[in-house]
């Protein structure tokens, strides 16, 4: 409302400017619609949405001018039904909410400039004109601030409801596909909304925060989209929220070499302070319906390996990483695997710091073809220290690593990934 101390001259000037613009409402709406659809790319792509945007603009401008003419607080006016419906439609089309907010800010700027121009054409004292300017800014800002909150709230509610319905339908189709339902490629692409003929990789993402935020699934989905952007993917990824803390995803690739680039981007972003302890399991690059199933199964296998040793190792684990596929196979019977590991490694399979160092040194030594020099370089240690550790580890093992080398190397790999899950507890002192 106008300040009680505002004189009649200012009040009259505000009313006259608002009335003059109200007579030009069709022209104002048309010019603002053109501006917003031109300046904000996401808002100008659909003719029907542009038409609805015009109705929203007209309703909002009428409300502001009405508030100015009749000295009514902007927040006491009912929001235009077209503005509410426009927010809903944008949510359903997946147009970013920041595009909607920017439209209101640009619209506010455009309308204020028209008010100032109109004020210059209407006779008034400089004091009345100056005070009127302040009223134009205050009323317009108050209204835009209020209506922005309303439409953003509407957008978020509609987006959540729409995604929930879409996700439920898509999850059902994807589950049918993964279960082996007989889809040809065209039908499967229609059912999943994902281009299966392209090269793609399956992913499982989850958070290791014991008290996850309620929106963790949505944050993980945004994380997937960010990864797709990091490799300049031509087509959108497919991401399904399995529960509040887990997302299944498939990410398009141009060629297999991009898999490592994407994994590096994932490793970097998963450690970002703003992320909720993201962990990621990756399949291999595949194509087609069978590839869709296979890469997902590989991601699930890598996920099982990673989840069995929470808090340890790399936050991004790929099925193609050395030893992951073998370890995943052995996790299918953990009790038998634990017995086997302890039989092969003997005392070396004890869960304490000294034996952990011995195991890791032996694992690296065997991976480097028993080269002391290469192992020392990889572990950033002196070659003599590696020699000492290898000899010490073999004494604990009770034999040369040349005896049952394949079994020893496999058991060391399993210990590396699964840790205490397959190790023996230290003897009490």
pLDDT at residue number 4: 44
Measured CA to CA in angstroms, residue 14 lies from 5, 69, 120, 133, 136 at distances of 15, 7, 12, 8, 8
pLDDT at residue number 246: 86
Sign of CA dihedral 405, 312, 282, 422: positive
Cα-based torsion angle of the residue sequence 113, 117, 119, 121 in order, rounded to the nearest 10 degrees? -170
pLDDT at residue number 282: 92
Query: In the sheet that 199-207 helps form, which strands lie side by side, from edge to edge?
Result: 238-241, 246-253, 199-207, 278-282, 316-318
pLDDT in tens, 115-130: 999 999 988 888 988 8
pLDDT at residue number 272: 54
pLDDT-above-90 percentage for the chain:
44
Mean pLDDT of 392-414: 90
pLDDT at residue number 38: 86
pLDDT in tens, 414-425: 999 998 889 988
pLDDT at residue number 273: 44
pLDDT at residue 3 is higher than 80: no
Cα–Cα distance measured from residue 130 to residue 127, given in angstroms and rounded to the nearest whole number: 5
pLDDT at residue number 5: 44
- Whether the CB-CB separation of 240 and 167 falls below 8 Å is answered with yes
The string of DSSP letters for 291-302 reads HHHHHHHHHHHH
pLDDT at residue number 168: 73
pLDDT in tens, 143-185: 999 999 999 999 988 887 877 776 677 778 888 888 888 878 8
Mean pLDDT of 329-341: 91
pLDDT in tens, 254-307: 888 888 877 777 776 655 545 557 888 999 999 999 999 999 999 999 998 988
- Whether the CB-CB separation of 208 and 237 falls below 8 Å is answered with no
- Of residues 206 and 243, more confidently modeled: 206
Which of 133-137, 232-236, 277-281, 300-304 is least confident?
Answer: 232-236
Output DSSP code: residue 77: S
Q: Which residue has the tokens 């953990």?
A: 334
CB-based contacts of 311: which residues, under 8 Å, 6+ apart? 208
Cα–Cα distance measured from residue 331 to residue 100, given in angstroms and rounded to the nearest whole number: 49
pLDDT at residue number 2: 46
């Amino acid at each position: 409302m106008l300040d009680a101390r505002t004189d009649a001259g200012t009040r009259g000037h505000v009313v006259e400017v608002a009335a003059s613009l109200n007579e030009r409402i069709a022209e104002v709406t048309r010019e603002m619609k053109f501006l917003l659809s031109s300046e904000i790319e996401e808002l100008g792509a659909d003719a029907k949405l542009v038409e609805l945007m015009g109705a929203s603009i007209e309703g909002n401008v009428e409300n502001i001018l009405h508030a100015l003419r009749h000295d009514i607080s902007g927040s006491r006016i009912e929001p235009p039904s077209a503005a509410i419906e426009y927010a809903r439609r944008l949510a359903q089309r997946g147009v970013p909410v920041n595009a909607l907010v920017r439209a209101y800010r640009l619209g506010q700027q455009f309308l204020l400039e028209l008010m100032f121009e109109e004020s210059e054409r209407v006779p008034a004292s400089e004091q009345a004109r100056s005070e009127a300017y302040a009223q134009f800014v205050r009323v317009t800002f108050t209204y835009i601030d209020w209506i922005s909150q309303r439409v953003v709230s509407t957008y978020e509610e509609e987006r959540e409801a729409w995604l929930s319905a879409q996700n439920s339908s898509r999850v059902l189709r994807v589950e049918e596909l993964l279960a082996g339902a007989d889809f040809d490629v065209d039908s499967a692409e229609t059912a999943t909304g994902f281009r299966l003929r392209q090269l793609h990789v399956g992913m499982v993402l989850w958070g290791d925060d014991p008290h996850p935020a309620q929106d963790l699934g949505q944050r993980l989905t945004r994380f997937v989209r960010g990864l797709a952007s990091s490799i300049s993917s031509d087509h959108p990824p497919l991401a399904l929220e399995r529960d509040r803390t887990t997302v299944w995803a498939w990410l398009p690739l141009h060629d297999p070499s991009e898999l490592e680039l994407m994994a590096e981007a994932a490793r970097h972003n998963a450690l970002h302070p703003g992320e909720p302890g993201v962990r990621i399991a990756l399949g291999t690059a595949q194509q087609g319906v069978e590839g869709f199933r296979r890469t997902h199964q590989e991601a699930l296998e890598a996920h099982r390996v990673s989840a069995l040793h929470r808090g340890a190792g790399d936050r991004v684990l790929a099925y193609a990483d050395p030893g992951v596929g073998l370890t995943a196979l052995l996790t299918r019977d953990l009790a038998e695997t634990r017995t086997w590991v302890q039989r092969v490694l003997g005392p070396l399979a004890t869960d304490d710091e000294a034996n952990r160092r011995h195991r890791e040194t032996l694992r690296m030594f065997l991976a480097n073809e028993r080269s002391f020099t290469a192992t020392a370089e990889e572990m950033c240690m002196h070659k003599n220290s590696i020699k000492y550790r290898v000899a010490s580890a073999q004494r604990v093992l009770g034999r040369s690593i040349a005896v049952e080398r394949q079994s020893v190397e496999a058991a060391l790999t399993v210990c590396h990934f699964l840790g205490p899950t397959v190790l023996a507890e230290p003897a009490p002192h």
